[in-house]
């Protein structure tokens, strides 16, 4: 195995890039702007140029690079073909082949960004030491990744692991961003938690410190719950129910060792893990009950770390 590799995480506004040793140490990390002009046609050539510049700066030869891993914000199949990435303006093409053409490096692999982040958490973060792991990212949306036997489950069209779009409420009348109704994302994303709280506040007359809060946020709700606010705690319980039952259903299919919870909402910490695990244990099939729940550890670096891991055996 060569000494170094690159991990690239392409986002809608910036591309995060990391130079790693293949043993898992970050040597350097930096960002470039995501150039979305003309259907994002320059994104990969600008990334390739940035990688070449870094090799020159660090006096590292191309021969010392094991490979380049890339996370893309859209569906990517196991062969590295992107299947319409609206965020970047991309249609259908093979990202891995294109980057090989641009850089001359043959070991290039691409994956969906949420799945790749899960792989990163397995390698160096909250899922370290495990090979079978589910990652759930609670942010603006709800992302997910399923790792089995140390590898990402991509699905046939690259869209596996969309945990946020599991239906958890068959009675919902509002639509999710995806067009369906009752998706987990509608209750467990940062905005979803606030929506659940507002519904509870409307139905109840109970006094609560979150009742008249301007710009109510998920953080406000967790903070109030930690201080003993009964209604806020009820919101957290409800969130734990949605996530705990979703995890129990996932375990029924893939039976992982560990669930890793990440994203901005996971900053709530132990209170969140406890409530998810409690509801999980209530709804999990008997042989699945004894599973670990952990917080993600890599934050925004999960994407570059996981991308690097894609090219390491
Ligand atoms: Zn949805």
Residue 283 in this model has a pLDDT that exceeds 90: yes
Q: How far is the CA of 241 from the centre of ligand 1 (A)?
A: 18
Q: How far is the CA of 182 from the centre of ligand 1 (A)?
A: 7
313, pLDDT greater than 90:
no
Query: How far is it, in rounded angstroms, from Cα 146 to Cα 129?
Result: 15
* 31-47: average pLDDT: 96
| Ligand 1 centroid to residue 142 C-alpha, Å | 9
Strands laid side by side in the 14-21 sheet: 26-33, 14-21, 4-10, 65-72, 108-112
Centroid of chain to Cα 166: 15
Q: Is the pLDDT of residue 282 over 90?
A: yes
194 C-alpha vs ligand 1 centroid, how far in Å? Answer: 17
The total of other beta-carbon atoms located within 10 Å of residue 170's CB is 7
> What does the pLDDT read at residue 32?
98
pLDDT, position 86: 86
> Does residue 87 have a pLDDT over 90?
no
pLDDT category at 219 given cuts 50, 70, 90 is very high
CA 56 to ligand 1 center in whole angstroms: 44
**pLDDT reading at 220 higher than 90:** yes
Question: What are the tens digits of pLDDT across the range 136-174?
Answer: 999 999 999 999 999 999 999 999 999 999 999 999 999
For 30, the enclosing helix (H) or strand (E) is: strand 26-33
Mean pLDDT computed over 14-33? 97
- Residue 33's Cβ-side half-sphere holds a number of Cα atoms within 13 Å equal to 3
Q: What average pLDDT does the chain have?
A: 96
- Residue whose C-alpha is closest to residue 99's, from 37, 61, 50: 50
Cβ(178)–Cβ(165) below 8 Å? yes
Residues 24, 39: contact at Cβ < 8 Å? no
Residue pair 154/277 in contact by the 8 Å Cβ criterion? no
177 Cα–ligand 1 center, Å = 6
296 CA from centroid of ligand 1 (Å): 23
The percentage of residues in the chain with a pLDDT greater than 90, rounded to a whole number, is: 96
CA dist 110 and 307 (Å) reads 8
Read off the tokens for 253.
């299919």
Q: Per-residue pLDDT tens for 228-277? A: 999 999 999 999 999 999 999 999 999 999 999 999 999 999 999 999 99
Q: Is 182 left (phi over 0), alpha (psi -120 to 50) or beta?
A: left
The pLDDT, as a whole number, for residue 84 is 85
Q: What is the mean pLDDT of the segment spanning 299-311?
A: 97
Map tokens 């409307």 to a residue.
202
């Amino acid at each position: 195995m060569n000494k170094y590799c690159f991990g690239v995480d392409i986002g809608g506004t910036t591309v995060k890039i990391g130079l790693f040793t293949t043993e898992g140490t970050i040597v350097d990390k930096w960002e470039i702007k995501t150039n979305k002009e003309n259907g994002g046609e320059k994104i990969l050539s600008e990334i390739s140029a940035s990688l070449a510049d870094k090799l020159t700066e660090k006096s590292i030869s191309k021969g010392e690079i094991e490979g380049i891993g890339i996370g893309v914000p859209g569906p990517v199949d196991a062969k590295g073909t992107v299947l319409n990435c609206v965020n970047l303006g991309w249609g259908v093409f093979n990202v891995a082949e294109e980057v090989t053409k641009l850089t001359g490096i043959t070991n290039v692999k691409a994956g969906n960004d949420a799945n790749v982040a899960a792989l990163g958490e397995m390698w160096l973060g909250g899922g370290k030491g495990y090979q079978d792991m589910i990652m759930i990212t609670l942010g603006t949306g709800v992302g997910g990744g399923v790792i089995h036997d140390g590898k990402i489950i991509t699905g046939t069209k690259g869209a596996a692991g969309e945990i946020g779009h599991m239906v958890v409420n068959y009675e919902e009348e509002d639509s999710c961003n995806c067009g369906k109704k009752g998706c987990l994302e509608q209750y467990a994303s940062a905005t979803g938690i606030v929506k659940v709280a507002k519904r509870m506040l409307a139905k109840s007359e109970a006094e609560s410190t979150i009742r008249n809060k301007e710009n109510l946020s998920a953080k406000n709700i967790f903070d109030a719950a930690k201080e003993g606010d009964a209604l806020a705690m009820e919101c957290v319980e409800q969130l734990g129910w949605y996530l705990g039952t979703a995890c129990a259903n996932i375990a029924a299919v893939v039976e992982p060792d560990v669930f890793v919870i990440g994203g901005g909402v996971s900053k709530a910490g132990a209170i969140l893990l406890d409530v998810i695990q409690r509801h999980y244990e209530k709804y999990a099939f008997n042989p699945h009950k004894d599973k670990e729940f952990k917080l993600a550890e890599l934050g925004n670096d999960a994407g570059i770390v996981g991308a690097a891991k894609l090219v390491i055996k």
